[in-house]
Amino acid sequence: MPKEKPELSDAMRKKMSRKSPERNPISGTKFTIAISSAKGGVGKSTFATNLALALKKIGCKVGLLDADIYGPSIPKMFGIQDKPKSDGQKLEPIIKYDIQCMSIGFLADQQTPMIWRGPMVTSAIKTFTQKVNWKNLDFIIVDMPPGTGDTQLTFSQDIKMDGAIIVSTPQEVALLDVKRGIKMFDKLGVKILGLVDNMSFFTGDDGKKYKIFGEGGVKKTADEFNKDFLGEIPINPEVGSSGDKGEPIVVSNPEHEISKIYLNFANKVKSTYL
């Protein structure tokens, strides 16, 4: 019997996964949006937290799922030290800033390394998507880990992902990984809403813009892959200090120029789905 061509097998698997009854929305939610980059250190968690808060600010019911098992950031960035309650069947999300939140960081000490193999990570992700009592959400924002591994595949193949936003800084070393991430989402049939150029520049005391990570790389990548370019977010020390204090910029300074940028992103997401 002749072997199937790899491309035909991929296409068949992709078609079957779209029809599979197991690829369902997360219970209690309408739309699942992944925030990804495939590269660490580009501000993805900062983007995810502030986007969630901006969506809440414009009237959406929002959840925030920290899917970075090895390096959870949401407990720090939201200032959460509580443990989630459970009825023995499901975990209750922790509510902060009127956002329903869940993270592995709520279940383990923040300084405890998660030395887990792939199957354990997959099991944790399935717990967060199947055994958390998410309640009546318009959007669940998923802060994805770097890379293109087990977590991304679990979400893309088992969960109905309604869209992904790709966050990157403009330098080439970051964009190499971003391109792999774009190809992964495309292959798995996940719609990419667009790319965001984060930390694109900072404005000095002299009023000039300094583009220390290069210029135009994210937009060029978006054009190369025929994806939307959603815009730029400049570097500002207040963004980092706000996150470190557990009060993201959209909460701590809602009139800040960067808070307004996040509100613009939130309006784009809301208008796409609601």
Domains of the chain and any CATH numbers: 23-273 (3.40.50.300)
Of 33, 45, 48, 70, nearest to 151 (Cα)?
Answer: 70
Question: What are the start-end ranges of the H helices in the chain?
Answer: 6-19, 44-57, 74-77, 118-130, 150-158, 172-187, 217-224, 237-244, 249-252, 257-273
Of 92, 90, 158, nearest to 127 (Cα)?
Answer: 90
- Chain mean position to CA 165: 7
**Cβ neighbours for 45, distance < 8 A, ≥ 6 positions apart:** 66, 68, 73, 74, 77, 143
Count of C-beta atoms within a 10 Å radius of residue 22: 9
Of 41, 68, 48, 38, nearest to 178 (Cα)?
Answer: 38
- Are 126 and 109 in contact, with CB atoms under 8 Å apart? no
Give the pLDDT score at 18: 47
Q: What is the pLDDT along the chain (274 residues), one digit of tens a residue?
A: 444 434 434 543 554 444 444 566 899 999 999 999 866 778 899 999 999 999 999 999 999 999 888 778 999 999 999 999 999 899 999 999 999 999 988 987 666 666 666 678 778 888 899 999 999 999 999 998 876 667 777 776 778 889 999 999 888 878 888 898 899 889 888 999 999 999 888 888 888 888 877 788 999 999 999 999 999 999 999 999 999 999 999 999 999 999 999 999 999 999 999 9
pTM equals: 0.87
| Residue 133: DSSP 8-state | -
Residue with tokens 């717990």: 127
Residue with tokens 């699942």: 32
